A and B are shown apart, each in its own frame.
Chain A
Amino acid sequence: MALKVTDLRVYYRTLRGEVKALDGVTFSVADGEIMGLAGESGSGKSTLAKSLIRLDGRMRHAGGTVELDGRELPIADDRAMDEFRFREVSLIPQYSMSALNPTRKIGKMVGELLAARGVPDGTAELERRLELVGLSKDVLGRYPIELSGGMKQRVVMVVSTLLDPSLLIADEVTSALDVSSQKAVATTLLGFRDHGLVTSMMVVTHDISLVYQIADTILVMYAGRLAEKAPAEVLVTAPRHPYTRQLVAALPEVGVRYEDRRLTGIPGNPPSLLDPPGGCRFRDRCPLAFEQCAEQPPFAEVAPGHLVACWKAE
């Protein structure tokens, strides 16, 4: 079991109170698994992704544990986490275009980063991996501004995976790209796993149709909690949670992002996470809701590898 998350709670501090962005999630990711993590904005998927590598200043770890390869990650302790970052958990950020220091040559920046992390000589490996994604080693002598968007994206992907992390988090990596580049990025991510450069992967997206192409499993979140996790094929063809069903039914053609349409297929809005109502959070928008939904349904296994948080999922 590569990653094991148990009852994780992460809250955002705001002036109006704490927003329960991640309110008790429990799941695991197996060795070699590529898990897609899907949900609307505000579902808690980004909070989850950030929690596993670096909480930002306004986030508070309110409970629960994260275990990676049998070791607990000290996610609330920024200093202690440094040891795990890059080596064990790594990130391909959403903002690849601006992720590189604009005033350092790329090779120098990576060299300084590696030296600071106690990896004295990574240049040879770096050059080899750049070649793997179709970049010549010349890019190391250049400044980020001299690279095209696609090249920057690839450089970031190579840097992030350079120390063969056990878990790689890819956060909305494709949202800024056109369809053909999305395809290329997806292929590269698959290649990382298949070449054994990373053990497991979490691909955060709001585009199920894209993550479906590379993910082994898909986890759907709703309003800070887990809704459903299943093998990708099953989740798309035979979803059990009413939210996932509507999500899949509303699924547009490949590449079109549904977030732009604000989920026209599903009436209503997610509840406020400042002071969320008890019970199932999808209740108000759910066509199947009944009395028992006032109680939070467990995230239970209804078939091998298929977990659903819904009373009517049987």
Chain B
Amino acid sequence: SFELLEKRELAPKVNLYKVRAPQVARARKAGQFVIIRVCEGSERIPLTIADADPVAGTVTLVVQEVGSTTARMAQVKVGERFADLLGPLGAPTHVAKIGTVVCVGGGIGIAPVHPIAQALKAAGNRVIGVLAARNTGLLFFRDEMRKACDEVRVWTDDGSEGKKGLATDAIKEIQAEVGQIAEVVAIGPVPMMKFVSKLTKELGIKTQVSLNPVMVDGTGMCGGCRVSVDGKSKFVCVDGPEFDGHQVDFDELSRRQAIYKEDERRAMERLVKEVR
């Protein structure tokens, strides 16, 4: 199990991994994630299931190299195995037929928003996908998202692909065109989710965000993933990862994500030394 069957670079420092995990592939639903341990001594890190094939028994992960563990992951070759893969974790996305839904994927957030768009469309919604990133080089899954959505719009901060602007500009544009957006699903960097939620609150559009705090077990036994939602502490790995964006304390989440900055830098230095 957990053999790496296929690996592809989607963008600089963004890889797609197809891993054998038959049980997980069978059980998973949109919005769920796995926890991977690359090798002995390595951390447990959560990664969203971007796609799965229950017949072939595979799950697809899309991972951005941001530090030591994701970099270690990038060194694994096809045919090798990950030490551990646990899942599917978290509560599945609540999928209902509600009308026009905008699914915003910011940068690496495009991967986790993809299965949610698929599920929402399958439930009979009109799904408009928004791919947003700093520049064209950070975009991926254009075709996959076109397949998953009724329509896809691309926005970049620098205008190197699609329209020039932020995810919030995309939402304003769509709102002006379609009138009534039933729901926004926004997944990406915390500041992006924060500003989208702020905007949609003003516009009165229900908004789901998927949170990415630091996790350990992923099964509700450590509390390390807790965030404040509507003033109450929630464990993201079991109560989430999706929450009402209008109630999330994003600033607290950002601060909690930064607890280990120093250790993470040291771990990366050690990895660089090991590789040399």
- A and B bind: no
Interface residues of B (CB under 8 A from A): none
